[in-house]
Structure 1
Amino acid sequence: MSTAFTPEAPAAAAPPASQRAWTRDDWTGYADRLLAGAMAWASPGKGRITPPGAEGGYGHDIDGLEGFARTFLLAGFRIAGERGQGVDELISFFSEGIRTGVDPDAADRWVRLEEHPQAKVEAASLALILDLTRPWIWDALDELTQHRVIGYFAPAVGDDTYPRTNWLWFRLVVQTFLRSVGGPWSPDDVAADLALHDSFVRADGWLSDGEERSYDHYVGWALHIYPVLWSRMRGAGELAGDRLAGDVAALDRFLQDAVHLIGGDGSPLLQGRSLIYRFAAAAPFWVGALAEVPSVSLGALRHAAEKVVSHFAERGVPDERGLLTMGWLGEWRQLAQAYSGPASPYWASKGLLGVLLPADHPVWAAEAEPLPVERGDFVRTITAPGWVVTGTKSDGIVRIANHGTDHAKPDALVGDSPLYARIAYSSATSPLLDDAAWHEPLEQSVALVESATTGKDATAGTETATHRAAMELLATTTDGDAGVAASTWLAHTLVPNAKQQRHGSGLDGEATVVARLTVVSVVRGAEEVRLARVTDLAEGVDENDWMLRWGGWPVTSRQDAQITSALRGLTDGTTARTVTRTDASPLGASTAVPVLDAPVETGTWAAAHLTLAGADHTPSLTTGVELTHELAAITWSDGAHSTVDLTNYRLS
């Protein structure tokens, strides 16, 4: 049985993509529009910028500090890129805000580092730009204000409460600035932070954001951007030593993968937390140009950054007020983390880092080079996160089969985060992000579901599906134009704890193991043959009480793109249905997920065929698989063949 559908086209269409490359004037004009929109919401003393919108989880005062610090990032790039010429208004505005921010008697002063942990994050942006704009802002500040700034940053020294994630760079950047202006700093802190960063290094230039399998946009917009910018700070030379060459080499290797993760329409991969930062995903391409990486050309880097930023610019970002909202294209608050406030999205400023490069920088004259997906179809493995990536030129869609990323530790039986632990993600679809999605994996999942609840309304929470967090990566490989990724996990149900920290990870709770599930994704172009095998039933579990449920690609009606999703059973006994969720995706009001249900046959491989393609694509009814205990022999829609040795994925 199969299910396939293409949503009806909406009445309105997005503006057509630009037919010419952005000039530097286009970039600076877009930056100035964002700055003007935000600066209009400054406090009387300009120490805080608080755009309209729902108050963030950390309160109004933090919201205002975020607004100042994150727009200061963009203002600093503009000021430095013009070498201080013709940007007097920005210099004056933010200088006044700094004086107010560190004035203990000002009503709109900054929240201090010892008052709230979020101030430690924002302090890094303040310190970075104070260093970058030193001749035009810091050097012109009066002595009392400079003394107060040093006092504001000083609590970072010796503070061991910074989370062991990308936050290490917030302490390191602040202390480096302090060192450059004669303030306190700790060599031990610096050494510890650099060692922590090095502990995050993984294969092929990738880094994990902490000890968990946390691979997402933070790899680029935090863990790769800060080493390069930090090395250029006045106080960093002796501290960096000979590190820079290694950091740039890692960045260079990472960028060779990163350019494959952008869709033909410029959309970044919709995967990972903090997606409200939107085009911050362009930041690593600009920092690659700044660092002069050897393997990705300036033209390719600029074009990649432009595709990402213009994807949003052409679709109403910022809004008619010139503001970045909490959402993806339009405002959609559910995409934000619990702590996010109305100014949080302005970390998107990092994606406009290119305006830091002056008009005479060679990046602006370099001939643009197309993205990999614009050049042709491809398949690529990325080892560290356990991804196999496919791109198809005809529809511009980039997809990943995910078998190594879950934002969890290897032995942590927690709930699946929809942002990390699904089996696949793409540049054209979003995971479901309503409340039910955190409790019950549906789209892009293979799960065990109690037979008594199968087929009921998933939106009512009546299906108890197993989770896959703590998966074990088995393989990422390619064979010609096909790729194979595989993982195995203890499929477990979860009773969530009443109190949760909703920062992107899956839910904590009491886990009960049902069985072992092993899944192999064989991907080729727009198609996937997905193989699944249930083994090792837990004591007291009867296979007849459970169904094997497959969830396909989620399809949301969008103004700017139409896609086709199909899911078809390739082994006997499957029944097809469609689950529809409302207000579950930042891409639109209604999302449909094709679903297959099948009986559990312990120890036997089952298979399904998935398709994600453009609206004019007709899903194949001829792709099939012949299965034995040892081999999967696949015949694709065009007659090509792939063979997978299943003995590689048999753990019991």
Structure 2
Amino acid sequence: MPFTIQNELKTRDDLAKFLRSLLDPLAQHTSPGGALLTLGATGTHYDERAAQLEGFSRPLWGLGSLLAGGGTYDGVERWVRGFASGSNPDSEEFWGPMRDKDQRMVECSAIGFTLTIAREAIWDPLSDEAKANLEAWLGGMMAKSMPDTNWLWFRVFANLGLSRVGSKHFDAARMAKDLDRLDSYYIADGWSRDGPDGLQLDYYSSSFAIQFAQLVYAKLAANDDPERSKKYKERAARFALDFAHYFDDQGRAIPFGRSSTYRFAQASFWGALAYADVELPAPLTWGAVKGYLLRNLRWWLTQPFLSGDGIVTIGFGYPNHNMTENYNSPGSPYWCCKAFLPLALPADHPFWTSAEEGIPAALPETVALPHPLHIITRAGGHTFLLSSGQMCAYPLRHSAAKYGKLAYSAPFGFCMPVGIGGIEELGGDSTLALSDDEGETYRVRRAVRGAEIQVLESSGTPVLHSFWDAWADTEVETWLVPPTAGSLWHVRVHRVKAGRTLRAAEGAFALHGQGRDHRALPATDPTQGDGAVGEKGLSLAASGAGAVGIVDLVQETRDGVAVRVDANSNLMVPRAVLPTLIGEISAGTEVWYATGVFAVPAQAGKYGAPETWVKAWQTKPEIPQEILQIIKQ
């Protein structure tokens, strides 16, 4: 039987109960000395002992918050015992000394955080010898080299913990230097890069690392570093107005970028806003902030993300190793425990006393965000973003899928390739994929040569414009147009200058590929119920998850195909169907593709798209006049 958690998740006590339900199953996987948690057998690029430390440390984000807020947990002794044995060089469970760029450094952040806010429950029970060992172990990272990324925050938090316990290993100069370097990543309007290179403005810029860390620091160092703390809170207030657009009314965050396996850590920024007592900008209220966090957590409780014995699995909407990075150990997903930070707040904090509210009505339906190069919309009840320009500056598994797609959807997620053998293995949703070997392998957009947000003079509509090179002799220029108010369509226009003969496959969003009978969608008319079809110029699919389609708006020369993507390609569902258009391009030609992409998700608690979706599907979108003029030139 699957492990399930029954929890309304409306109150502070409910949130504490949820945390305990995640902590309890860890006991059976904990070593005798408490320092090592073995949650699975899969590997990472770092050593097994560091992975076992990861399983020990990451739940501390939640446990430390619970204890700091006056809560209790019967199993806290496991972690106290683990601190003593894990930091003892003579113990069989010793975590090992720090080396340059060591994964152990990452885990020091949760440890330093916990020592800072829950000293009485975690630090005070330790013997003098154990305290000395833990201080020395944490201090061992001070002189070591670290990646020039958000990793520097891990040493900042280690120093905060050492400072709070009065350790001689506290290095104030090192901490100030790290903070100055972290501040150099700042762009504007609350947005920071994760290091000096590339453009990856994903959840690391918010909940996973940068914003979360800045807000916790602003709270903990308010007296020692008031100017910087004030600056961090001001940045967060501005950033919140942008970040609010990444969540839909059911609580789902738009999956984008790496480390999706951290799951509801996506929403931890909202709890950090409350923890730091940020002065909220209108139209945000504490009721709205509370709603963003709790709706996200409630949605996750409807997903099969737990193993049979209650362990948070590697994956996203379900256990899935295909979508991971090589730094995801079985303990990595417990980064999600950052979402429990509001437990550190007193019960009379306005975050807890305010009535939960929905998405503020004053937030615009569609917004262009120039720093991440995203246009985000919730038109027609579908929250998704259009993207161009982001890319990973270093080797990362499936980086093209995580950063380079044309669109990313809160309800439909996105796909990643499971192999290189044809369109089924491609994971080609929201891409224009090109093949020069008759469809055996495809290339998709990964690195762009240029990207910008333009505004159409006729309507004021923001449009994403970008270039990328599939091969040295093949250039793709793309315009992405968001839906008009209330519409279920967005428009893509591509100009392909081909130096070779190509096959082009353009995908819509991927949809849950099973019907009411729990079998694959039949090849029948989707407007009459469950089904998935393709014909000349269009493809359409409908299931309990909603309806998704794609049409050729200009020449109608492409063939529509309902591709049944290989299992476990999609983040949200293990079996998906992908409406796709396939065309042929001759060498030495310039080809224009104009595409309408239709999508409407199911409403909460209901099967399939609303009944009005068929009429909306039959009303095709128009290509903006400014882009039509370019096509006709």
TM range (shorter): 0.7 to 0.9
Residues 1:485 and 2:463 are matched in the alignment: yes
Q: Alignment partner for residue 442 of structure 1, among 408, 428, 433?
A: 428
User: What is the aligned partner in structure 1 of residue 344 from structure 2?
Assistant: 356
For 2:175, the equivalent position in structure 1 comes to: 190
SS of the aligned residue for 1:419 comes to helix
1:171 aligns with 2:155: yes
Is residue 519 of structure 1 aligned with residue 504 of structure 2? Answer: no
What's the CA shift for 1:117? 0.9
Q: Contact 1:381 / 1:478 at 8 angstroms: preserved in 2?
A: no
Q: Any conservation in 1 of the 2:249–2:358 contact (CA below 8 Å)?
A: no
Aligned length: 580
- Per the alignment, residue 308 of structure 1 pairs with 296
The runs of 5 or more residues in structure 1 that have no matched partner are 1-13, 455-461, 493-511, 627-631, 634-642
Structure 1 pair 259/478, CA: closer, same or farther in 2 (3 Å)? farther
Partner of 1:216: 202
Instruction: Please list every run of 5 or more consecutive structure 2 residues that lacks an aligned counterpart in the other structure.
Output: 519-542, 602-607
Q: Which residue of 1 aligns with 2:502?
A: 546
Relative to structure 1, the CA distance from residue 40 to residue 115 in structure 2 (aligned partners, 3 Å threshold; closer, same or farther) is farther
2-structure distance, mates of 1:420, 1:91? 39
Deviation at 1:265, TM superposition (A): 2.2
2:416 matches 1:433: yes
In 2, distance between residues paired with 1:593 and 1:530? 17
Q: Which moved more, 1:258-267 or 1:465-474?
A: 465-474
Provide Cα deviations, 1:367-414, integer angstroms capped at 9, x if missing partner: 211025x899811111111111111464xx3110001222238xx999
Look up the SS of the partner of 1:119 in the other structure: helix
Q: Does 1:620 align with 2:620?
A: no
Q: Which letter maps to 1:362?
A: P
Q: Which among 527, 541, 565 is matched to residue 548 of structure 2?
A: 565
Tell whether the 8 Å contact from 1:441 to 1:466 is kept in structure 2 after alignment. no
Taking the TM superposition and a 5 Å limit, the aligned residue runs for 1:171-570 are 171-180=155-164, 181-210=166-195, 211-221=197-207, 222-233=209-220, 237-238=223-224, 240-293=225-278, 294-295=280-281, 296-371=284-359, 378-392=365-379, 394=381, 397-408=382-393, 417-436=400-419, 442-450=428-436, 453-454=438-439, 462-475=440-453, 477=455, 483-492=461-470, 512-524=471-483, 525-535=487-497, 541-542=499-500, 545-557=501-513, 562-570=545-553
SS at match of 1:435: coil
Per-residue deviation, residues 275-316 of structure 1 (Å, max 9, x unmatched): 111111121000111222321211111110001111111334
- In the TM superposition, residue 81 of structure 1 has moved relative to its aligned partner by 1.0
Report if the CA contact (8 A) 1:383-1:476 is conserved. no
The one-letter code sitting in structure 2 at the alignment partner of 1:553 is F
Paired residue for 2:534? none
For the pair 1:101 / 2:60, whether they are aligned, the reply is: no
1:556–1:585 contact (8 Å) kept in structure 2: no
| Residues 136 and 446 (structure 1), Cα distance of their counterparts in 2 relative to 1, 3 Å cut | same
**1:41, distance to aligned residue in structure 2 (A):** 1.7
Across the aligned residues of Structure 1 and Structure 2, the Cα RMSD in angstroms comes to 3.4
Matched residue type, 2:376 = V
Quick check: 1:416–1:441 contact (8 Å CA) kept in 2?
A: no
Matching residue's letter, 2:204: Y
Q: Distance in 2 between matches of 1:575 and 1:94?
A: 59
* Structure 1 letter corresponding to 2:416: L
Higher relative CO (Cα under 8 Å, sequence separation at least 6) belongs to 1
Q: Does the residue aligned with 2:206 lie in a helix, a strand or coil?
A: helix
Call closer, same or farther: CA 1:92–1:442 in 2, change over 3 Å: closer
With structure 1 as the length reference, what TM-score do the two structures score? 0.81
Q: Within 5 Å, which residues of 2 pair with 1:54-65?
A: 54-65=42-53
Deviation of 1:218 after TM superposition, in Å, equals 1.3
Aligned equivalents of 2:420, 2:385: Cα separation in 1: 20
Residue equivalent to 1:7: none
2:324 aligned partner, one-letter code = A
Letter in structure 1 aligned against 2:477: T
Shift of 1:453: 0.3
The alignment-based identity, stated in percent, is 21
Matching residue of 1:574: 558
CA positional deviation for 1:608: 0.8
CA–CA separation in structure 2 for the residues paired with 1:127 and 1:351:
17
Equivalent position amino acid for 1:312 in 2: W
8 Å contact from structure 1 (residues 207, 219) kept in 2: yes
Q: Tell me, yes or no, if the aligned pair for 1:380 and 1:478 is still in contact at 8 Å.
A: no
Structure 1 counterpart of 2:368, one-letter code: T
